[in-house]
């Protein structure tokens, strides 16, 4: 065989071999592809805990960096105590002021409780004495009035002299004046009793003022307690163990309640969230084994198990939901989130992954497990 023929047949053989390999690989891939449902919309997720301060304050120190492992209760961030100490001092001052006010109102109440009953008793005793005096004056005036009437008859009969009658008349007039004075004394004593009885309101007023002051003191003490607790919370600690995924602020920034300063996740909680088209959901079932391919582990596919198929499409929870009120609508295939757990026996590999990594998920059609 000539050399040119040998080269030509060699080239033909290589081309045929390549075609056979390509066809074999392509057939295998096509058969695999036809027997699986696949999505590239998969991402590694984890249970991330966002750690926020409970009190507003400036950040003094940040003791961890992103990627650091942390234990439950480990100190993460230290807040500036100076402002918190000032709040405690202000609260202590308010408590002292309210304690003084309570002491003054209590003393006033005790004084009113002593003086008011004593004043009432004295007024009632004075009224009783005035009434007795009025009774005596009334009896004397009545007696002298009868005497004057008798002496008036005697004077008319000229049985007595004018001087004797004038003596009795003067005595009666004096008795009448004493009776009027006694009646005025009774009226004054009754008015004094009324005023004394009305002074009972001072006790009620003092009791109300004391109750209000005691309420203010309780509020001030509560504020002091909260200020002291806030000072104790100047240290922000890790609520869970795991890895620091993100440190948000810098020293000197203002930390506010509800605004996270550190994000921590536990590698043991890593899972995959894959979003499958609604047309592929019939091939998935909870507990099904699937294949997971990650760019972070090239050539090292992992296996996973479907744990949850969500009961709503991802679009239902979009920040900007679809608006079809005007009647404009384009049909789009919706995607449904599917949560996939890693297998415990492959933990040494998947625990090295990071939240947010991309994942390609393949599942055999018909809900069958991957081999």
Residue 28, pLDDT above cutoff 50? no
Residue 40, pLDDT above cutoff 50? yes
Say which residue, 14 or 128, is predicted with more confidence: 128
- pLDDT value at position 330? 67
Say which residue, 271 or 56, is predicted with more confidence: 271
Residue 366, pLDDT above cutoff 80? no
Give the burial string for 58-73 (b: 16+ CB within 10 Å, else e).
ebeebebeeeeebeee
Domain(s) of CATH 1.10.287: residues in the chain? 84-230
Residue 134 CB-density burial (10 A; 0-12 exposed, 13-18 middle, 19+ buried): buried
Find the radius of gyration of the CA atoms of the chain: 51
% of the chain beyond a pLDDT of 90: 34
- pLDDT value at position 12? 72
Structure tokens at 345: 């026996």
Inter-residue contact 267 to 334 (CB < 8 Å):
no
- pLDDT value at position 328? 57
Say which residue, 148 or 263, is predicted with more confidence: 263
Average pLDDT over residues 321-326: 63
Domain(s) of CATH 2.40.30.170: residues in the chain? 37-77+253-367
- pLDDT value at position 64? 94
Smallest CA-to-CA distance from 363 within 292, 307, 301, 310 is with 292
**Token pair 């009545």 in the structure block, residue:** 142
Residue 260, pLDDT above cutoff 80? yes
Residue 371, pLDDT above cutoff 70? no
User: pLDDT digits over 120-137, tens only?
Assistant: 888 888 888 888 998 898
Average pLDDT over residues 58-80: 92
User: How many CB atoms sit inside 10 A of residue 50's CB?
Assistant: 15
Give the burial string for 253-263 (b: 16+ CB within 10 Å, else e).
eebeeeebbbb
Inter-residue contact 190 to 127 (CB < 8 Å):
yes
May I ask the CATH architecture of the domain 37-77+253-367?
Answer: Beta Barrel (2.40)
Fold annotation for 84-230: Helix Hairpins (1.10.287)
- pLDDT value at position 6? 67
Smallest CA-to-CA distance from 354 within 307, 296, 292, 306 is with 296
Structure tokens at 148: 């004057």
SS (H, E, C) 286-300: CCCEEEEEECCCCCC
Least confident of 23-37, 102-116, 196-210, 315-329: 23-37
At residue 31 the predicted structure's pLDDT band, cuts being 50, 70 and 90, is very low
Q: Whats the size of the chain, residue-wise?
A: 371
Average pLDDT over residues 310-332: 70
Say which residue, 336 or 166, is predicted with more confidence: 336
User: pLDDT digits over 83-100, tens only?
Assistant: 778 888 999 999 999 999
Residue 243's alpha-carbon distances to 47, 183, 237, 250, 344, in angstroms, are: 11, 96, 13, 19, 19
- pLDDT value at position 319? 61
d(CA 68, CA 227): 32
pTM: 0.57
At residue 109 the predicted structure's pLDDT band, cuts being 50, 70 and 90, is confident
- pLDDT value at position 7? 64
**Token pair 């506010």 in the structure block, residue:** 256
At residue 63 the predicted structure's pLDDT band, cuts being 50, 70 and 90, is very high
């Amino acid at each position: 065989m000539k050399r040119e023929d040998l080269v030509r047949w060699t080239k033909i053989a290589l081309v045929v071999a390549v075609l056979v390999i390509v066809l074999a690989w392509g057939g295998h891939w096509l058969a695999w592809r036809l027997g699986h449902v696949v999505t590239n919309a998969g991402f590694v997720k984890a249970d991330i805990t966002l750690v926020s301060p409970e009190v507003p304050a400036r950040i003094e120190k940040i003791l961890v960096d992103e990627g650091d492992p942390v234990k439950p209760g480990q100190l993460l961030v230290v807040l500036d105590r100076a402002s918190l100490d000032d709040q405690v001092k202000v609260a202590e001052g308010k408590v002292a002021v309210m304690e003084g006010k309570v002491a003054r109102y209590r003393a006033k109440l005790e004084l009113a409780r002593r003086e008011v009953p004593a004043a009432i008793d004295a007024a009632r005793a004075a009224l009783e004495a005035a009434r007795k005096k009025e009774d005596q004056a009334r009896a004397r005036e009545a007696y002298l009035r009868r005497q004057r009437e008798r002496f008036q008859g005697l004077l008319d009969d000229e049985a007595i002299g004018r001087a004797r009658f004038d003596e009795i008349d003067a005595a009666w007039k004096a008795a009448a004046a004493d009776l009027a004075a006694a009646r005025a004394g009774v009226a004054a004593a009754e008015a004094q009793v009324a005023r004394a009885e009305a002074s009972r309101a001072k006790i009620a007023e003092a009791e109300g003022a004391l109750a209000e002051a005691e309420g203010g003191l309780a509020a001030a003490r509560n504020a002091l307690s909260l200020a002291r607790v806030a000072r104790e919370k100047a240290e922000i600690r890790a609520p869970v163990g795991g890895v620091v995924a993100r440190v948000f602020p810098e020293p000197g920034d203002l930390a506010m309640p509800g605004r996270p300063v550190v994000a921590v996740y536990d590698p043991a909680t890593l899972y995959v969230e894959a979003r499958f088209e609604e047309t592929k959901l019939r091939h998935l079932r909870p507990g099904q084994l699937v294949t997971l391919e990650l760019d972070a582990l090239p050539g090292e596919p992992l296996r996973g198990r479907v744990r949850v198929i969500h009961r709503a499409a991802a679009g239902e929870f979009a920040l900007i939901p679809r608006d079809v009120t005007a009647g404009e609508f384009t049909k789009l295939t919706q995607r449904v989130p599917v949560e996939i757990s890693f297998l415990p026996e492959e933990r040494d590999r998947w625990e090295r992954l990071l939240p947010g990594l991309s994942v390609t998920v393949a599942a055999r059609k018909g809900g069958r497990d991957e081999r």
